[in-house]
Chains A and B, each alone.
Chain A
Amino acid sequence: MTITTSQAKGSVSVTILRIEGDLDASNYLDVIKAARDAYGGGARHMLLDMGGVPFMSSSGLMALHSIALLMRGEEPPDPEHGWSAFHSMGRDVEESGVQDLVKLVNVQPRVARALEMARFDQYFECCDNLEEAIASF
């Protein structure tokens, strides 16, 4: 898997993380790390370009969730401690509904299916193309 980071200027500065390759349990931590590095570099709005990801498992969901927390300025629980560590997260964002700090673009069909199954599509906005996505922030 390769992850490339770039910047785009919409109404706010948007950091684009382009991911290439299957997103699974072996590499989802790499994605979180890339997002953490970007946040450390000042990124506050993140667009995940999933055009190069043909497959994503539930580990990928964990990555998306962690990135959303990071962009809000929270340190996500150590994913190695298991999914149960994430219990508290949901309540914090109860009022906010669809969060608008992390968005997805170019989501491939199999990944879309995983998002749908987990109802993550209620939580992450999925855009059709890059320009539109950048403009939506």
Chain B
Amino acid sequence: MEHQGVSREQLELRLARAERRAARLAADGRRVRRTTECFQAAGLALTRTFDLDTILESLLDYLRRLVPYDSATIFLLEQETHLVARAARGYERWIEGPDARVVDTVRFDLDSSPRHRRLVTTQQSHVIADTEQDPDWDDIASSTHVRSWLGVPLVAGGHTVGLYSLDKVEPGFFDLEHRRWAEALAAQAAIAIQNSMLHRQTQRELSERRQAERAEREQRVFAEALRDIAALLNSSLDLDTVFQGILTQVARVVPSEAGSILLIVGDMVEVRHIRGYDETHVGWRFPLNRPHLLKVIRTGRPEVIDDARACDGWINTPGTVWVRSVITAPVFSGREVIGFLSLERDTPGAFTPQHVERLQVFANQAGIAVRNARLFEAEQRQLAEIEQAEAAARAANAKMRRELALAGAVQTSFLPRELPDLDGWQISVTLRPAGETSGDFYDVHSLPDGRVGLLVADVVGKGVGAALYMAASWALLRTYAGQAGVQPEQVLEATNRRITHEARTSRFVTLFYGLLDPATAILTYCNAGHCPALLVRGSDPETLCELSAQGMPLGMLAQARWEARTVHLDPGDTLVIYTDGVIEARNAQREFFDEERLHSVVLAHAGQPAAEIQQAILDAVDEFMGTGARSDDVAVAVLVREQVRASAGAAPVLRVASDLENLSLVRRFVAEQGAALGAALDAVDDMILAVDECATNVVRHGYRGREGEIEVEVRRDADALIACLRDRADLFDPRIASLPDLSVPLEQRPLGKMGLFFVNQLVDRIEYAVRPGGGNELTLIIEAAIRGPDSSTCRRAGGHK
């Protein structure tokens, strides 16, 4: 079924996919926000103190939130040759005894562990996905439980100060994202560790030498400046804010008239931030060809120009003519120099080695700021993409919901608004969807030939998909059912072929489809995997017959076939067709309503008007369910043949197709009408056999395999029971046909015309007429078969046995 060029099935799939994607994106967004917040918090915590142990413990805390390790060790490098474990977590869980104590007990030469040595020398993190497969793996540092390993060097200002090693007991645990966060945190941590060590050194110097008050204040200012800038670094991800802060803070500890932060852009250098210069310099670019800058890049160390005027490579700009001393430190991103932090003084030889060291610390901060800003920028971009995708998904979902609401409305419009008004019949149909749309449906439609189609169907499954499938099935069924002379199995087979051909889903439809000929009271039906329809005879109100499935549901197999069955509905008969929502309704105890309850309701109300029977069923289901929510659609159709009214004028007439299969219907009709007229049983029996033989002859010898109709009418005339057969077949007058001579012994008797012989034996009179327009009218008369109101005797009352 097409809907704005897209199949409804596809639409539903897309909705589900879009909802899943939106949920995934939202989860991704939350995760990214959480991780970014954690990272910022880690930076603040690391710079809040100069105490090394606190820094390392805090580092392990935050590390675990970003990279959930099983155990971890932080090593610091001593004398460039040894690693000492200074903090550790998680080993007691995996290792018993004193080996679990890693801190300060594990100390080893770099040369004894290739994997650790590699971290220190390459300054690159390293992952071992499976320690059992890795030739470099060694059991140094209580690591027998480790299956995957992530080592990250702690590098500050281009120098390795230590490393941390993260362990996981499962192989293949650490992914790119783990590695990225571990590296980012390592950059922050390395600076915090370096600051802490500088501070400790300063403290030591202060106490040991009892330096002058000025030096002491200077150190304090330096420490504060460091802390301030670190705090700034971690509270703001805006690069300009951080750079400006660095320039301000560095001036507190390294006296200078001016300063700038320069960033390398391709083969140019751009003045990004300045202090002490004219603001117009910001954004100015010059070629990366100044010898002292090239040397900084080459060595990775700060470079000092003691006197710019005596320096060959120094190029003055109009704003820098006053400059005499210059100090320039590299700004790293990882191992790459991405820019410079530069300070200038108007006196030559103004910068001391201590200044150089301090400047590099600030330059390192700038590197971190750049790195964080880039990380943040990437996250922001990712977040923006996620939000954009979320918004798009929301918009698409809303659009689809609108369309599906429309689909529900369209679906309701499928159901017939008015049911055909049939004299002598009552039809009542209802559908109660469990949700906005329904997988159940019904249809009652009049055919051009006077028959009435009655359809109750259930698309297996619930919700929108089922409803859309229903709509498609309904449209096909109605298309095929609307043709005169069509048989139910033809409708089913044609519909089934289309459904299985066009719908590539695993859905299917169970249905009961009947064609009622109101004139003959014959219902020709197919039950395709549906709940059995329930028939209660007016003549036997205690018994319930089931019109069960004879075929599979539609939509399962393209070449499926169905066989129609016929049932004659007598006056007073009740037929109930329903969907499984009735018997599968559940109460609070999770019990099913079940067929037994349904059967007893139907038996209790059979014979009542159709609408009342239907209401009784729905009420019983509601009462059973209590307050529980309906989980399935419910459809109930009731067909009742009204009792023949005594004043009915015209005699009932049965019309059946010329088919030997319909003989049983003919016999049943004669039996019912005979009984209704009050004829003696044996007279009725004789008439049944006579009519059967005549009808057999019409099918066999009259129509001779051609299609045709036989009409049977049973009436009384005074005390006579009369049956009349009409056809449009070849003309044949049975009165002039020769009959077999039964005086001849059986063995010599021709067996032909035995049926006709029977008829002559069974009835008292045969009348024959050619019908207007062609065809035969044969009238069979049994006299004195019906006890008249004035007669107390009956010829056949005693029977023939």
- B772 at the binding interface (Cβ < 8 Å): no
Contacts of A3 in B (CB 8 A): none
Contacts of B761 in A (CB 8 A): 117
Query: B725 CB to closest chain A CB, in angstroms?
Result: 15
In whole angstroms, how far apart are the Cα atoms of A94 and B688 in the complex? 33
The tally of residues in B whose CB lies under 8 Å from a CB in A reads 31
Chain A residue at minimum C-beta to C-beta distance from B659: A26
In whole angstroms, how far apart are the Cα atoms of A55 and B664 in the complex? 10
Contact of A61 among B661, B700, B754 (CB under 8 A): B754
Contacts of A58 in B (CB 8 A): 693, 696, 754-755, 757-758
Contacts of A119 in B (CB 8 A): 742, 746
* Given contacts A25-B696, A90-B746, A123-B746, A118 and B801 within 8 Å (CB-CB): no
* Given contacts A25-B700, A83-B751, A123-B746, A55 and B660 within 8 Å (CB-CB): no
Give the residues from 737 to 773 in chain B that come closer than 8 angstroms, CB to CB, to chain A. 742, 745-755, 757-758, 761-762
Query: B346 CB to closest chain A CB, in angstroms?
Result: 121
In the bound complex, do residue B747 and residue A83 qualify as a contact, i.e. CB atoms below 8 Å apart? no
What are 7 A-B contacts with C-beta separation under 8 Å?
A: A25-B700, A61-B751, A84-B750, A84-B751, A90-B748, A114-B758, A117-B761
Interface centre among A65, A92, A117, A122 (most CB of B within 10 A): A117
- The proximity string for B residues 585-624 relative to A, scoring 1 for CB distances below 8 Å and 0 otherwise, is 0000000000000000000000000000000000000000
* Given contacts A83-B753, A119-B742, A24 and B692 within 8 Å (CB-CB): yes
In whole angstroms, how far apart are the Cα atoms of A118 and B750 in the complex? 11
In the bound complex, do residue B696 and residue A57 qualify as a contact, i.e. CB atoms below 8 Å apart? yes
Contact of A24 among B663, B685, B748 (CB under 8 A): B663
In whole angstroms, how far apart are the Cα atoms of A21 and B747 in the complex? 28
In the bound complex, do residue A110 and residue B749 qualify as a contact, i.e. CB atoms below 8 Å apart? no
- B214 at the binding interface (Cβ < 8 Å): no
- B373 at the binding interface (Cβ < 8 Å): no
- B699 at the binding interface (Cβ < 8 Å): yes
Contacts of B748 in A (CB 8 A): 90-91, 94
In whole angstroms, how far apart are the Cα atoms of A61 and B755 in the complex? 10
Closest 10 CB pairs of A and B: A83-B752, A90-B747, A26-B660, A58-B755, A58-B754, A86-B751, A25-B696, A83-B751, A84-B752, A94-B747
In the bound complex, do residue A93 and residue B747 qualify as a contact, i.e. CB atoms below 8 Å apart? yes
In the bound complex, do residue A82 and residue B747 qualify as a contact, i.e. CB atoms below 8 Å apart? no
In the bound complex, do residue A90 and residue B754 qualify as a contact, i.e. CB atoms below 8 Å apart? no
- The proximity string for A residues 36-63 relative to B, scoring 1 for CB distances below 8 Å and 0 otherwise, is 0000000000000000000101110110
Contacts of B685 in A (CB 8 A): 110, 113
In whole angstroms, how far apart are the Cα atoms of A114 and B660 in the complex? 19
In the bound complex, do residue A65 and residue B751 qualify as a contact, i.e. CB atoms below 8 Å apart? yes
In whole angstroms, how far apart are the Cα atoms of A114 and B745 in the complex? 17
Query: A98 CB to closest chain B CB, in angstroms?
Result: 10
- The proximity string for A residues 50-89 relative to B, scoring 1 for CB distances below 8 Å and 0 otherwise, is 0000010111011001000000000000000011101101
Give the residues from 86 to 135 in chain A that come closer than 8 angstroms, CB to CB, to chain B. 86-87, 89-94, 109-110, 113-114, 117-120, 122-123
- A22 at the binding interface (Cβ < 8 Å): yes
Chain B residue at minimum C-beta to C-beta distance from A90: B747
Contact of A25 among B660, B749, B758 (CB under 8 A): B660
In the bound complex, do residue A57 and residue B751 qualify as a contact, i.e. CB atoms below 8 Å apart? no
In the bound complex, do residue B689 and residue A110 qualify as a contact, i.e. CB atoms below 8 Å apart? yes
In the bound complex, do residue A57 and residue B699 qualify as a contact, i.e. CB atoms below 8 Å apart? no
Contacts of B742 in A (CB 8 A): 119
- The proximity string for B residues 659-675 relative to A, scoring 1 for CB distances below 8 Å and 0 otherwise, is 01101100100000000
Chain B residue at minimum C-beta to C-beta distance from A121: B746
In the bound complex, do residue A26 and residue B663 qualify as a contact, i.e. CB atoms below 8 Å apart? yes
Contacts of A89 in B (CB 8 A): 747, 751
In whole angstroms, how far apart are the Cα atoms of A65 and B297 in the complex? 118
- The proximity string for A residues 7-39 relative to B, scoring 1 for CB distances below 8 Å and 0 otherwise, is 000000000000000101110000000000000
In the bound complex, do residue B752 and residue A114 qualify as a contact, i.e. CB atoms below 8 Å apart? no
Interface centre among B667, B746, B750, B761 (most CB of A within 10 A): B746
In the bound complex, do residue A90 and residue B749 qualify as a contact, i.e. CB atoms below 8 Å apart? yes
- B800 at the binding interface (Cβ < 8 Å): yes
* Given contacts A25-B696, A57-B693, A87 and B664 within 8 Å (CB-CB): no
Give the residues from 315 to 332 in chain B that come closer than 8 angstroms, CB to CB, to chain A. none
Contact of A91 among B667, B700, B747, B800 (CB under 8 A): B747
Query: A74 CB to closest chain B CB, in angstroms?
Result: 14
Chain A residue at minimum C-beta to C-beta distance from B660: A26
Query: A79 CB to closest chain B CB, in angstroms?
Result: 10
In the bound complex, do residue A62 and residue B751 qualify as a contact, i.e. CB atoms below 8 Å apart? yes
In the bound complex, do residue B758 and residue A86 qualify as a contact, i.e. CB atoms below 8 Å apart? no
Contacts of B750 in A (CB 8 A): 83-84, 86-87
Chain A residue at minimum C-beta to C-beta distance from B755: A58
In the bound complex, do residue A57 and residue B692 qualify as a contact, i.e. CB atoms below 8 Å apart? yes
* Given contacts A24-B663, A25-B696, A25-B699, A57 and B755 within 8 Å (CB-CB): yes
Contact of A118 among B660, B661, B752, B758 (CB under 8 A): B758
* Given contacts A24-B664, A113-B800, A114-B758, A59 and B696 within 8 Å (CB-CB): yes
Contacts of B752 in A (CB 8 A): 82-84, 86-87
Given contact pairs A57-B689, A118-B754, A119-B746, a sample of 19 additional A-B residue pairs in the complex whose CB atoms are under 8 Å apart:
A22-B663, A25-B660, A26-B661, A55-B688, A57-B693, A57-B758, A62-B754, A82-B752, A87-B751, A90-B745, A90-B747, A91-B747, A92-B747, A94-B745, A94-B747, A113-B685, A113-B800, A117-B757, A122-B746
* Given contacts A55-B667, A82-B752, A118-B757, A24 and B696 within 8 Å (CB-CB): yes
